[in-house]
Chain A
C-alpha cells in the first residue's frame, strides 16, 4: 500500500478519491445536459416544422399548381415530381448498388485493386452533392443534350445515392455468418447461387432498411437537382401517357422541380407574396414524408427479419 500511494498520507489519498468522484459526477452531469439540449433542439426542430406548417396543408394546397407571381399556389406537381424522381432513381440505383456490393463482398480479391475501388466509392460519397449536380449538368444536360430533365436528375441522384447504398448492402451481406456461406459452397453451389439464394434472403431485412433510409435522403436532396432536373414545374397531365409529350407527367425528358428544390427556390428567388406560407407548408409535407420513411424502414425491416428468420 505504501509504495502504491507513493508515500501519500491517508488524508491526501482520501482527498484524491473524493476529487475523482466529484469530477465523475460533474462529467455525468455535463454529458446529461448535452443530451437534454440535443433532445430539446430535436423536438423543437421537428415540432416547429410540422406544427408550423400543418395549418397550411389543405387538400387544395397539396393538389393545385404552384404560382409564380400570385399568392395561393400549391405544390401538386412538385409532390408528383419528387415521387417520380425517387422511383426512377431507385430503379437505376438498386440493381447497380446491389451488383457492386455483391462484387465487393463476394468476388473481390483482397488486393490493391480492390482497395482502390473501395477508395473510389468512398470518394464519391464524400463529394459535395452540388459538385455531383454540376457534373450532371455538364454531362447529361449539356453534352448529352438531355436538357433540364427528370432523366438527368435521376442519374445525378443515382450517383449521389450509390455509395451509401453500396455500403449498406455490403455491410448487410457481410453481417451474414460465415458458416451460412460456407455451407452453401460446401453443398456445391457456386458463389453466385450462394449469394442469390442464401446471403440475400438472410440479409434482406438490412438491405431493405438501408434502401428505405437512402430513399428518404434522395427524397429531400436539392443541391444535386437544381441544375439537372431544373427549377421549373410545368403544368402536367397525369392521364397523358404519351411519353414524348412535354405535358405528360410521365415524360422523363421534361424539367421537374421537386419539393426540396421548391423550398429553396421560393426562399432564394421567389417573388410570390406568400413565401412564408408556401415554404412552411412544403417543409411540413417534406418532413412528414421523411418521418414516414424512417418509421417504415424500421417497421418493414423488422417484419422481414421476423419472417425470414422465423423468430
Chain B
C-alpha cells in the first residue's frame, strides 16, 4: 500500500521539477510564480510522507503497549487474582484451584526467578569476555580486529536464536548430562545461561567496540606520554572514560537475554517450579509464554495470566530502557564537566 502511493508521489515530484525547469527556460518572470508554489508543496509533501511513517510506527508501539497491558491486567481486574499472589506466589499450576481463594494457583515467582537467574548468570559469563575482546580489538590489535574479528562477531550476531537453541540442545545439554558430575537430565538454568551467554556475547562485544572506539585518541596519548604502560592506559583512562557506554552495552545484552524465548525454552526443561539448583529443569517468563499460549482458550483466566507474564516482560524491558537513559544522562554530565 505505502509503496504504491509513494511511487505515485515520486512521479508527482518529477512532474513538478520538470514543469519548473521548462518555465525557467521560457521566461524568467513566469518561473518565479510557477516554481515557488510547487516548491512549497514539495516541502509539505516530504514532511507529510515521512511524518505519516513516524506516526504509524508510534501508533503501533502505543497499540502494543495498550493491548498487552489491557489483556495482562484483566487477570487482576476481571478475574480477581491479587497482585501479590501473582508476583510472589511460589506455585504455578493454573489447572488446580486454590481452595482458599477459589481461583487457579498462578504464582509467577518460579518464572520470575528463572528469568532473572538465566539473565544474571549469562551476563556474568558473557560481559567480561565481551569487554575483554572489545579491548583487544580496539587497543591491542586494531588491524586484525577490524579486518577479521569484527566481521566474525557481526556474523555471530546474525545467527538465528533457534540455531543457538539447537546447539544448546545437541551439545550443551548432552555435555552437562554426560560429562559434568551433577546428575540430572542436563536441562536447566545452567544450560540456558550458557546458551544465552553465547547469544549475548557478540551483541555486547560489538557495542563495546563502538564504546571504546569513541574515546578520544588524545586521552590515550596523554596517558602514554605520562609514562603509563598500555594496560595502565587502558584500565585507568580508556575504561573509565567509556564506562557509561560499556554499561549501556552490557544492559542491552541483558535485555536481549531477558527477552529471548525459543533458545531458552529449548534447553531449560520447562518445569514451572521454584529453582533450587542450576541443574534442575526450570522455566522463564518467555518459555512459559511460548509453551502455554497455544494451549489455552483466549479470554480464560489460564490465558489471561499468560498475558500478565507478557506484561511483566514488557515492563522489564521498559525498565531496562529507563536505566540506559539514566546512565546516558549521568555519563553525559561527567563528560561535560
Contact = CB atoms under 8 A, between A and B. Distances in A.
A122 B321 contact: yes
Given A28-B140, A100-B54, A107-B46, A45 B159 contact: yes
B50 A107 contact: yes
Given A132-B64, A195-B46, A227-B294, A290 B159 contact: yes
A176 interface: no
A135 to B, nearest CB: 4
A30 B133 CA distance: 10
Interface string B145-180: 000010111111011111101110111000000000
Interface stretch (B84-92, B100-108, B252-260): B252-260
B162 A107 contact: no
A291 B159 CA distance: 9
A278 to B, nearest CB: 11
A99 interface: yes
A79 interface: no
Given A107-B50, A139-B63, A46 B231 contact: no
Contact of B259 (A131, A217, A286): A131
Contacts of A260: 160, 162
A264 B52 CA distance: 37
Contacts of B171: 48
Given A95-B6, A263-B162, A138 B266 contact: no
A207 interface: no
A91 B6 CA distance: 12
B80 interface: no
Given A159-B64, A190-B46, A21 B262 contact: no
A283 B43 contact: no
Given A48-B167, A130-B286, A264-B266, A103 B314 contact: no
B37 interface: no
A266 B80 CA distance: 38
Contact of A34 (B60, B129, B230, B260): B129
Contacts of A222: 160-162, 262
Contacts of A261: 162
A192 B46 contact: yes
Contacts of A42: 152-153, 155-156
Contacts of B152: 39, 42
Interface in B11-42: 13, 17, 39, 42
Given A100-B57, A126-B320, A190-B42, A131 B290 contact: no
B96 interface: no
A128 B162 contact: no
Contacts of A102: 46, 50
Residue with the highest number of chain B CB atoms closer than 10 Å, among A98, A131, A220, A222: A131
A286 B3 CA distance: 29
A233 to B, nearest CB: 16
Contacts of B6: 95, 99
Residue among A98, A124, A268, A293 having the largest count of chain B Cβ atoms under 10 Å: A268
B155 A294 contact: yes
A193 B64 CA distance: 34
Nearest to B233: A24
A260 B252 CA distance: 24
B51 interface: yes
B182 interface: no
B288 to A, nearest CB: 11
5 contacts: A100-B53, A222-B160, A267-B165, A268-B265, A290-B160
Given A95-B2, A128-B259, A134-B293, 14 more contacts: A99-B54, A103-B50, A106-B46, A107-B47, A124-B60, A128-B314, A131-B68, A139-B67, A193-B13, A222-B162, A260-B160, A276-B170, A290-B155, A290-B159
Interface of A: 20-21, 23-24, 26-28, 30-32, 34-35, 37-39, 41-42, 45-46, 48-49, 91-92, 95-100, 102-104, 106-107, 117, 119-124, 126-132, 134-135, 137-139, 142, 159, 162, 166, 188, 190-193, 195-196, 213, 216-217, 219-223, 226-227, 231, 260-261, 263-264, 267-268, 276, 279-280, 283, 286-287, 290-291, 293-294, 298
